[in-house]
Amino acid sequence: MPSNAGSGNRREFLKSAGTVSLAGTAALAQPLLGRGAVSGDAPRPASTAGLPPLKITDVRVIVTCPGRNYVLVKIMTSEPGLYGVGDATLNGRELAVASDLEKHIAPLLIGRDPEAVEDIYQFLYRGPYWRGGPIQMTALAGVDLALWDIKGKRAGMPVYQLLGGRTRIGALAYDHASGNDFAEVEDGVRKAMERGFKVCRAQVAIAGLQGTYGTSARSKPGEVAGPAPITDLPSTELFEPEPYLRTIPRLFAHLRTKLGEEMELLHDAHERLNPVQAARLAKDLEPYHLFYLEDVLRPEYKESFRLVREHSTTPLAMGELFNTLWDCVPLIKEQLIDFIRCDLGHIGGITNARKVAALAEAFQVQTAWHGPADIGPPTHAANVHVDISIPNFGVQEMVFFPEATQEVIPGAPEFKDGYMMVRETPGLGTDVNEELAKKYPYQRAYLPTARRKDGSVQDW
Ligand code: KDG
Ligand code: MG
């Protein structure tokens, strides 16, 4: 499989090859903007910076389970050895996205100019008439990341350079600490500190409630982000707001008493509260100076953030369940949040994330892109390329991928002294080993679900 290395030489070669092959052809005689070659294609130039025109020749969708399910998109081009790899993983609905890509999106891409990244984004977002939604926007993200990867490789530059160049050395990263009691969580935060993290998320099991969000997937602090247990059908957890609301402020009181003020701490409420409960939690957590409190409300209830804001100065973060730029507008323009936490893999990729970041910049909101284990290394790489090239980056959630994942999908950003670093290779820096991927076939898996004690459905 061709590697990123040497693409500079390839570029030089193609520049000269392009000049030769185009000479005397009709392409040179055409005006700069000719008609597109495929249905609905953008007007395309006869050449780009002396390189011959490029076409998408194939779109491969790779579904693999090296520890957990991932969906990768590999876009092949007419330039020998030049391809891009994107990630289109949507936890629990992987096959729906894979099918959207294979059946609906791939035929639209063949023959198209892969360099027209924004145009392809617009075409795939507005073209089908039906907009948004996690399945469509995850598929779009897979395509978008692969196209940025191609663009970077063709330019001979890491993607962050194409986004404007470095604004910082690396992306401040946060780790996850969880446990069955306060002492276990404290131990997890200490381990994170020892490894160089300056920010850590803290989640604790709630006594009497089995399987609280954030505590079951990885009970031992310091381990790699373990896969959620692969079960044929979803598990059911139990949630009651009152014990949760009593426990979490006590957890942070414990952590501040034991660890002091130096370590930055945050907490994910995971969309489980109603407005007045959310306001109470934010208020009760004020003395412990969280870096932020995440997802206190469900994404449907954006206006309820006003109530939370009125009652507390705890910084708020929201956004992993948003799918479009317009989902972000209400919270950002009223400064109802401090951190926008979209998932690049579910909001259409880098092309849309840049716009979200720019919108946020105008309202003093910082970014904190979602970075869990259930999105693949190309999305983690994309996160960091954006993080290190924008002015209003806040913090980056990160995971350490298990060995099998690293072998199948190499190139995830590296962790160094509390920061995430992308590789300095052209493109995103990630790849997929298609042969190895075949050894790990898809396994049906669901996210857990949750219910209240009376049996009614609860957000997990
Ligand atoms: O698939 C769901 C996870 O991505 C989500 O539960 C993780 O909330 C999450 C976080 O903040 O990482
Ligand atoms: Mg979250």
Interval 127-139 mean pLDDT: 96
Contacts of 265 (CB under 8 A, 6+ apart): 189, 199, 200, 201, 202, 252, 255, 256, 288, 290, 291
Written as six digits, the tokens of 301 are 């209830």
372 lines ligand 1 (CB under 6 A): yes
Tell me the one-letter amino acid at 143.
V
Is the CB of 268 inside a 6 Å radius of any atom of ligand 1?
Answer: yes
pLDDT digit string, tens, across residues 62-95: 999 999 999 999 999 999 999 999 999 999 999 9
H or E, element range at 385: helix 377-387
pLDDT above 70 covers a percentage of the chain that reads: 86
Query: How would you list the strands of the sheet with 457-458, edge to edge?
Result: 236-238, 449-451, 457-458
Q: Is the pLDDT of residue 48 over 80?
A: no
Q: In sequence order, which residues have a C-beta less than 8 Å from that of residue 19 and are 6 or more positions away?
A: 50
Q: Is 320 in the pocket of ligand 1 (CB under 6 A)?
A: yes
Residue 34 has pLDDT above 70, yes or no: no
Q: Which ligand is nearest to the CA of 397?
A: 1
Share of the chain above pLDDT 90, in %: 82
Distance, in Å, from the CA atom of 23 to the CA atom of 12, rounded to the nearest integer, reads 17
Active site residue 380: no
Q: Is the CB of 447 under 6 A from ligand 1?
A: yes
Helix (H, G, I), strand (E, B) or coil at 250: helix
Superfamily of domain 171-434, CATH level 4: Enolase-like C-terminal domain (3.20.20.120)
Residue 374 Cβ contacting ligand 1 at under 6 Å: yes
Q: Pick the catalytic residue: 267, 270, 346, 385?
A: 270
pLDDT computed for residue 99 by the predictor: 98
Q: Averaged over 236-249, what is the pLDDT?
A: 96
**More confident site: 419 or 28:** 419
Using the atom order of ligand 1, give the atom closest to the CA of residue 213.
Answer: 6
List CB contacts of 128: < 8 A, sequence separation 6 or more.
104, 136
Burial of 36: CB neighbours in 10 Å, binned 0-12, 13-18, 19+: middle
> What's the CA gap between 143 and 149, in Å, rounded?
10
- Judged against a pLDDT cut of 50, whether residue 205 lies above it is answered with yes
Pocket probe mutation, ligand 1, options 97, 135, 320, max atoms within 8 Å of Cβ: 320
For residue 426, CA distances in Å to 7, 78, 150, 155, 385 come to: 8, 18, 9, 7, 12
Instruction: Tell me how far apart the alpha carbons of residues 403 and 67 are, in angstroms, rounded to a whole number.
Output: 9
Report how far residue 449's alpha carbon sits from residue 27's, in angstroms, rounded to the nearest whole number: 57
Contact 281, 307 (CB under 8 A): no
Which ligand lies nearest to the CA atom of residue 459 in the structure? 1
Any ligand 1 atom below 6 A from CB of 270:
yes
More reliable by pLDDT, 218 or 293: 293
Neighbour tally for 283: CB within 10 Å: 15
What is the phi/psi pair of residue 185, to 5°?
-65, -45
Beta strand residue intervals within 188-335, DSSP E:
199-204, 236-238, 264-268, 292-294, 316-318
From 169, 146, 141, select the one nearest 354 (Cα to Cα): 141
What tokens appear for 266 in the block? Answer: 């945050």
187: CA distance to ligand 1 center in Å?
22
pLDDT at 175: 98
From the CA of 176, the nearest ligand is: 1
Q: Are strands 419-421 and 171-179 parallel, antiparallel or unpaired?
A: antiparallel
At residue 85, the 3 state secondary structure works out as strand
User: How much distance in Å is there from the Cα of 88 to the middle of ligand 2?
Assistant: 18
> Which residue is catalytic, options 213, 244, 419, 440?
213
Query: Cα of 270 to ligand 2 centre, how many Å?
Result: 6
pLDDT at 220 over 70: no
Closest-CA residue to 155 (of 345, 12, 306, 361): 12
**Residue 444's pLDDT is what?**
94
Question: What's the average model confidence in pLDDT over 85-114?
Answer: 98
Ligand 1: atom nearest CA of 447 is 1
Give the pLDDT mean for 180-197.
97
Strand partners, 200: 175, 265
- What pLDDT shows up at residue 44? 67
CA distance 438 to 417: 35
Please name every residue paired with 158 in a beta bridge, in sequence order, or none if there are none.
427
Six-digit token string for 78: 């007419």
Query: What's the pLDDT band for 284 if we cut at 50, 70, 90?
Result: very high
Q: How far is the CA of 124 from the centre of ligand 1 (A)?
A: 26
Q: Residue 148: pLDDT above 80?
A: yes
Domain range summary for the chain, segments of one domain joined by +: 171-434
What is residue 230's predicted lDDT score, i.e. its pLDDT? 55
| Mean pLDDT for the chain overall | 90
Under DSSP, the state recorded for 421 is: E
* Strands, E assignment, 104-189: 171-179
Q: What is the mean pLDDT of residues 378-388?
A: 98
Which residues, 6 or more positions from 166, have their beta carbon under 8 angstroms from its beta carbon? 160, 388, 389
Residues of the chain by 3-state class (helix, strand, coil), percent to 5? 35, 15, 45
Residue 306 has pLDDT above 60, yes or no: yes
Q: Which atom of ligand 1 is least distant from the CA of 176?
A: 12
Token digits for 330?
A: 């209400």
How sure is the predictor about 7, in pLDDT bands with cuts at 50, 70 and 90? very low
**Other CB atoms closer than 10 Å to residue 417's CB: what's the count?**
12
Instruction: Tell me the pLDDT band of 302, cut-offs 50, 70 and 90.
Output: very high
Q: Per-residue pLDDT tens for 357-372?
A: 999 999 999 999 999 9
Distance 360 CA to ligand 2 centre (A): 19
Ligand located closest to 93 CA? 1
**270 an active-site residue?**
yes
User: Residue 115: what pLDDT?
Assistant: 96
Q: HSE on the CB side for 184, CA within 13 Å? A: 14
